């Protein structure tokens, strides 16, 4: 969920991978040529010779196996080539096996390149992109499954695929689900509530209590502004919002406006002062409490923490508790996203959509963000749908999570560039006093509230060991919990499903690995653990309110409100 564009790569001259004739156009170029061009990228000669020898040996074995079995070859396990159309067709099977051999060899070469770690990571990423794009399954002329379907449907699958391709070109992204099935407010984002405040940046939604009594301290959720908030309210049975309300909390949620070009000049300071700090004030006023419980998800957690640090600098401590879900505050390890960030790429953004742009600030388009995140997992989120939608003419099945994933949002260029430079590039948020936000020196250590930190073990956007570093920034009571799965699936894991597990450890050693070594695995969802912790900080129970808002902040419209329905 972090906003970067592949076009900002400041890669080394990767065209060298194919410079023995023309650029690499696929896997058809001879491996001999590839070996030669990789040698120009400082691969140790001994390692290059080893890889070359292994390739020639495996290629000979593949050829001989094909001759001895009448053309059929044994394919390694790969879901792209798992059907009988691939395994029973000698030509297709051999093409798939040759592709997989070439792919393995190219990745071995990429791994063997010498250089600094960032350059090597970029090379591996770029090579993997080329490998995934050139799979024979991605092309009608080489895909026997798509060809068989075309024959069975008398060409109807091809016609349907072309129609879906045209539709996707019009909408600007590859369809990952049947988007016609879903509608925000009808079958996603359906928890009952009302908008009780709005300004140019956000709407504040108050949710209807589901218990006769509620905790005296209200709660505020700050979701990421680079996505729609309803990832926390997809369906009633997997809604973090509904679950929180069911635990007896009077809940308020920030619904970010999807900014248009008129908001391009909005800054990080605006998102802190005019959005999160304003939301805290309104929740305090409606809830009648000086202190509130708070939760931030992903970049929403970064924004929330910054806002609380600004208030702490002003002598205010409005948070009775802080929950941060898959949030980066220490940006020394940003995982795969680090390949997109260096001084050159950040400066380019500042000069095109940031404050230094000659024509004035612009926008980071939501479709750029969506494409970037999809290509972090191209086989699952891009080529899988290219094959199904276009080559086979299949309509992808309805899936609420993928509908949300396609419902992208813009970001003001000024705000985005500040975030990119001062966190991902310079990593200053963790340094006391290094950043000035809203006129105040930011020091996370001045936030006095107890903190619950959640990370997901397979998260490729916020590496869990990077999220663990936040334990060193807060000075008050801290609890760190590690969930299974990834950035979204790890968070959205309702107890009723009885899926996955999580790890707990009351000790907080300096090393994340040491924490995990001493942790205990607990089956099921982490939500009940969090609910028990939160109840300790939410205050005593009182009668649930019978109406939304108060005299000052009246109902504007029913939830989910207008802002979440705005498309990019």
Which of 126, 429, 383 lies closest to 268, judged by CA? 429
Rounded Cα–Cα distance for residues 158 and 258 (Å): 36
Q: How far is CA 386 from CA 160, 366, 391, in A?
A: 13, 21, 7
Which of 166, 238, 203, 164 lies closest to 404, judged by CA? 238
Which regions of 397-545 does DSSP assign to beta strands (E)?
411-412, 436-437, 440-441, 451-456, 478-483, 501-504, 520-523, 541-543
Catalytic: which of 225, 298, 417, 438? 298
Which of 410, 417, 408, 268 lies closest to 341, judged by CA? 417
Rounded Cα–Cα distance for residues 478 and 506 (Å): 9
Q: Helix, strand, coil proportions of the chain in percent (round to 5)? A: 45, 15, 40
Q: Check if the beta carbon of residue 563 is closer than 8 Å to that of residue 255.
A: yes
Q: Is 298 among the catalytic positions?
A: yes
What lies within 8 Å, CB to CB, of 375 at 6+ separation is: 6, 129, 381, 382
Rounded Cα–Cα distance for residues 194 and 359 (Å): 39
Tell me the two tokens of residue 437: 């936000």
Tell me the two tokens of residue 481: 């919990």
Q: Check if the beta carbon of residue 483 is closer than 8 Å to that of residue 500.
A: yes
| Beta-carbon count within 10 A of 340 CB | 23
Residues annotated catalytic, as ranges:
298
């Amino acid at each position: 969920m972090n906003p970067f564009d592949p076009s900002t790569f400041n890669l080394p001259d990767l065209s060298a991978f194919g410079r023995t004739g023309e650029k690499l156009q696929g896997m058809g170029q001879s491996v001999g040529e590839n070996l030669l061009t990789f040698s120009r990228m400082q691969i140790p000669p001994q390692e290059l010779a080893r890889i070359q020898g292994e390739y020639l040996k495996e290629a000979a074995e593949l050829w001989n196996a094909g001759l001895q079995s009448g053309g059929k070859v044994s394919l390694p396990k790969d879901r792209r080539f798992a059907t009988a159309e691939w395994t029973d067709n000698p030509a297709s099977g051999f093409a798939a096996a040759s592709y997989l051999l070439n792919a393995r060899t190219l990745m071995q070469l990429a791994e063997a390149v010498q250089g600094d770690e960032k350059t090597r990571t970029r090379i591996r990423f770029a090579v993997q992109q080329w490998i995934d794009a050139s799979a024979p399954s991605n092309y009608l002329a080489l895909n026997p499954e798509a060809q068989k379907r075309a024959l069975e449907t008398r060409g109807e699958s091809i016609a349907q695929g072309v129609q879906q391709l045209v539709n996707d070109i019009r909408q600007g992204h590859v369809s990952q689900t049947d988007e016609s099935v879903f509608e925000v407010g009808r079958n996603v984002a359906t928890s009952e509530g009302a908008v009780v405040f709005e300004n140019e940046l956000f709407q504040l939604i108050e949710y209807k209590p589901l218990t006769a009594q509620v905790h005296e301290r209200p709660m505020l959720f700050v979701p990421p502004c680079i996505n729609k908030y309803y990832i926390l309210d997809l369906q009633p049975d997997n809604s973090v919002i509904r679950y929180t309300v069911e635990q007896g909390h009077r809940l308020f949620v920030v619904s970010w406006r999807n900014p248009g070009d008129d908001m391009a000049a909005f800054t990080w300071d605006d998102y802190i002062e005019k959005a999160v700090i304003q939301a805290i004030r309104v929740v305090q006023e409606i809830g009648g409490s000086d202190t509130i419980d708070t939760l931030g998800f992903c970049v929403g957690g970064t924004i929330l923490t910054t806002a609380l640090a600004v208030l702490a600098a002003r002598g205010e401590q409005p948070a009775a508790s802080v929950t941060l879900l898959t949030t980066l505050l220490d940006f020394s390890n940003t995982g795969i996203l680090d390949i997109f960030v260096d001084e050159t790429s950040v400066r380019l953004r500042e000069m095109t959509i940031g404050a230094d742009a000659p024509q004035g600030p612009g926008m980071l388009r939501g479709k750029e963000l969506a494409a970037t995140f999809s290509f972090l997992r191209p086989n699952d989120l891009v080529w899988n749908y290219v094959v199904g939608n276009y080559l086979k003419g299949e309509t992808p099945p309805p899936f609420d999570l993928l509908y949300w994933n396609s419902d992208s949002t813009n970001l003001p260029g000024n705000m985005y560039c500040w975030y990119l430079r001062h966190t991902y590039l310079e990593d200053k948020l963790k340094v006391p006093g290094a950043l000035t936000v809203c006129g105040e020196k930011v020091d996370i250590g001045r936030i006095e509230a107890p903190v619950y930190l959640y990370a997901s073990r397979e998260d490729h956007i916020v590496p869990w060991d990077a999220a663990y570093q936040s334990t060193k920034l807060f000075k008050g009571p801290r609890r760190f919990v590690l969930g299974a799965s990834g950035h979204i699936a790890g968070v959205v894991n309702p107890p009723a499903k009885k899926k996955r597990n999580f790890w707990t450890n009351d000790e907080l050693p300096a090393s994340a690995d040491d924490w995990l070594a001493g942790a205990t695995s607990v089956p099921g969802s982490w939500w009940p653990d969090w609910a028990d912790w939160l109840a300790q900080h939410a205050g005593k129970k009182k009668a649930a309110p019978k109406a939304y808002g108060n005299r000052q902040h009246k109902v504007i419209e029913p939830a989910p409100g207008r802002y979440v329905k705005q498309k990019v």
